[in-house]
Structure 1
């Protein structure tokens, strides 16, 4: 117990605050070069690219290199014009007098002695220096750039792996649409109004999150887009709850890498996430750290949240001005009860958007290496619910239509009904020898897959376990799965069925 004379600061004086940032090999700094003078030496391709880069950033580049030593690429760059910067060629080598008033010095040197001379001269003049491809003579590095100016992304591997940096750049390029430039410029135009009319904290964040969504999902902003954005500022200023909205997001079958980019963006912009219990921890790790997370899963034979409670929770948070993400496994529009949620949100006047996900049937096809609509086997594919509200098979299912040898049928949530599904299909004319494929926990670490015949379906599912999320595929497209899936090891057999559990681990 702390004594009355002991202050909180005394108690914690010796405590060391945990480090908030891991070790950095370099400090990423964005340097404003507009109107600044840069000393450049060298006439090769490397020098040409750096000169163009700095002139594009608004620098006044003084290039010191005899004309006869200029390469073709440098001559092309010298003919370019830039909005703010310029490249001024001096037909002579660099000398000690060129560094006065320079902000940076960059050289492309052939030998180490030339590099050392330039480096020492620039340092002696107090000018930060970079000698291209000579790390020992670099006080700063350029890195790899993704240009969506005024949005600029810099990537550095500290000189260790430039090709890796380029690969990272290509990945980022795919994430950042070219239209981002226009949206960033619009952000600069409305920033003053946002700062003036919206209080710091949740209101401003709600605006910029909505703005960011628009930037990644709409085309280049036009006059109408600017009007909409400014109107939203006014709505938030008058009614803070105006920022409330709901996004229904498909989380895919389970593996985090099967999320869409749009789904990841929604998770990272969420204030509240209502998620099913089939959503993996790896997917939740991609969400915004500050987001409130609430499990609202519904599973057969166990306590579950009622749909009415989920609807009410979404409405409550959205009316409080929050961005709610309703995160569902698979695709939200396939057996996800999204229709009821959309209807309730629209009745309450709450904006709602849908981000589709990869449905489990697609993961099933990928896992077994088949096409669900192989033209030699199936002219159509059906997604069928395996249970009704009462927990039994739906009363109005047309089994005669489902028992079609020219179709592929995928039964969702049908584990407990597997034997009855088999019986009904056989009763209505489908051959007992029709191939079936069963997957439990598909795309997850505990994934189990099995193949067999329709007559064996109940035994296959019983062996896998009915308490797991199970998907059943029925149709001739699964006829060759055994040969493809089981290559490389002797399978275990029981009742004619072949089980495939964590194949990658078994196959090394």
Structure 2
């Protein structure tokens, strides 16, 4: 995604980002309606059996041509299909068999048979697939997640079917089994929604609520009239959602954050939000960069808040997308107060804060019971760019304590000086991490007194997180100190 240019004045104005461009597609994902149409399948192997079952499940009347069908194929024919029909012809196929076919599939034993079937299918005007022979395929089946009428198809363009299956397993965990019932209800009420709700926001509000209920593991209601009426009245003034994007890695976003990005009209995003996070947003959503970045030219907070309110008053659903967690050093309190004062609905979707991501990457518990009983999150600078005057460093750094300092690069020397003056040992373990959970992540490990020099030597203007405490210097547990069941499990190999 192309970021907007930064003006040379002392502050930035919110700038609309260029519309996201659709990247290259290896294949075009389409969904072919086969209800009541004829399908031809040549072959009786196990692989052909699966293809026959899929075609019939999609409603096709499948003619299977197999001189020597396997036991799997015979069993499928005997039990029948979930929809459509299956008819077995115990002979090989001929080009005449493809006449009138809406789709043609073959499990060819030789290249010559594959070529012949491909040519016959093309002559008959039927889309053709020759199993495991991509050169003779006009389409691929891919992996399927079935919540019909909600159907998800996954393709790797034939390059890595096992990867496609792994993706399918992940998607399966995200889609509740009851989604199928909600999908059937959606088909029934679609005409009523279009008749009773105006195009645009009222309809979207209805379908957003509908989707939230569908993913809430609740049974579909028998009557959706009340939901339609509510959607016609609600949110006419728009709404604002503060969303935590996490520290960088898009996989660390919550499902609730993803749904918010998929449902909004406008996204106001900070510089630190990763492009891969923005790629998950609804394509039609307008993206506006509001460029909040410590130590750099940034949009004024009052301009951002005013823009949020103006957009919401226009009836827009606005997402204020912040790096990490919006409630930790994200100035969320000011935005919430202003939006509420304007009479606009506002909600918050929490995100993974950088300290949590750092701890997981390092494999370090911030509150390891042998080394730290408290943990603190601290900002490294005040609104004037200096170490906050009232910050009691001695209270957060020292024996039994873990301190995590956000935005402390420019004040690291002042922080260490204040800690040393308070009697904190210079050899207290310390960590500095730039660009947490991103591809260009960097980690420094050392001790407190070496921290300022390490920050200066790094010459990295990426977001920096500093952490200090005994947990970062803890050695691996001695086997003799572990409980007996744990030692036995380790020794068992």
Q: TM-score, normalised by structure 2?
A: 0.75
- Pairing 1:347-496 to 2, within 5 Å after superposition: 347-366=341-360, 368=362, 370-388=364-382, 401-443=395-437, 449-464=443-458, 469-479=463-473
Map 1:133-282 onto structure 2 (within 5 A). 133-135=132-134, 137-138=136-137, 140-170=139-169, 172-173=171-172, 176-201=175-200, 204-205=203-204, 207-208=206-207, 210-211=208-209, 214=212, 217-220=215-218, 222-223=220-221, 226=224, 229-235=227-233, 242=236, 244-256=238-250, 258-260=252-254, 262-280=256-274
Q: List gaps (5 residues or longer) in structure 1.
A: 1-19, 482-508
Q: How many angstroms does 1:468 deviate by?
A: 6.2
Gap runs ≥5 in structure 2? 1-20, 476-493
1:321 match? 315
Between the aligned partners of 2:30 and 2:461, the Cα distance in structure 1 is 53
Residues 338-378 of structure 1 show CA distances to partners (whole Å, capped at 9, x for unaligned) of 23433444454533333322212134335555332334432
Question: Any conservation in 2 of the 1:206–1:243 contact (CA below 8 Å)?
Answer: no
Supply the distance in 2 between the matched residues of 1:100 and 1:304 (Cα, whole angstroms): 65
The reply to whether residue 33 of structure 1 matches residue 28 of structure 2 is: no
Which residue of 286, 289, 292 corresponds with 1:291? 286
Post-superposition CA distance 1:6-63 (Å, at most 9, x none): xxxxxxxxxxxxxx98887655442222222333343220121111111111122233
* C-alpha contact (below 8 Å) 2:432/2:444 kept by paired residues: yes
Gap change, CA 1:409 and 1:116, over 3 Å in 2: closer
Rate the CA distance shift 1:345–1:479 in 2: closer, same or farther, 3 A: same
Shift in CA distance, 129/258, structure 1 to aligned 2, threshold 3 Å: closer
> 1:5 is matched with which residue?
none
Distance 1:415 1:229, change over 3 A: same
Q: How far 1:147 moved relative to its partner?
A: 2.5
Corresponding residue for residue 5 of structure 2: none
Deviation at 1:473, TM superposition (A): 0.8
- The answer to whether the 8 A contact 1:448-1:464 is kept is no
Relative distance call for 1:273 and 1:160 in structure 2 (3 A) is closer
* Aligned residue among 280, 297, 305 for 2:300: 305
Asked whether the 8 Å contact 2:430–2:448 carries over to 1, the reply is yes
SS in 1 for 2:236: helix
**Residue 379 of structure 1 aligns to a residue in which SS?**
strand
In the superposition, relative to structure 1, how do residues 60 and 462 fare at CA in structure 2: closer, same or farther (>3 Å)?
closer
Structure 2 equivalent of residue 496 of structure 1: none
Q: In the alignment, does 2:102 pair up with 1:103?
A: yes
Structure 1 residues 104 and 403: CA distance shift in structure 2, 3 A: closer
Distance, in Å, in 2 between the alignment partners of 1:176 and 1:460 is 46
Distance 1:402 1:21 in 2: 48
Going from structure 1 to structure 2, the CA distance change for 1:366 and 1:65 (only over 3 Å counts) comes to closer
Question: Are the counterparts in 2 of residues 105 and 127 from structure 1 also a CA contact under 8 Å?
Answer: yes
Secondary structure at the counterpart of residue 329 of structure 2: coil
Output one character per residue of 1:196-249: Cα deviation in whole Å (capped at 9) or x when no partner. Answer: 2444455545554x257626753345228945641343226xxxx527222211
Worse overlay, 145-154 or 169-178: 169-178
Q: What's 2:76 paired with?
A: 77
Quick one: distance in 2 between partners of 1:41 and 1:303?
Answer: 64
Q: How far did 1:259 drift?
A: 4.0
- Paired with 1:361 and 1:317, the residues of 2 have a C-alpha distance of 32
Higher relative contact order (CA 8 A, sep 6+): 2
CA distance in 2, matches of 1:35, 1:270: 39
* Contact 1:249-1:327 at 8 Å conserved across structures: yes
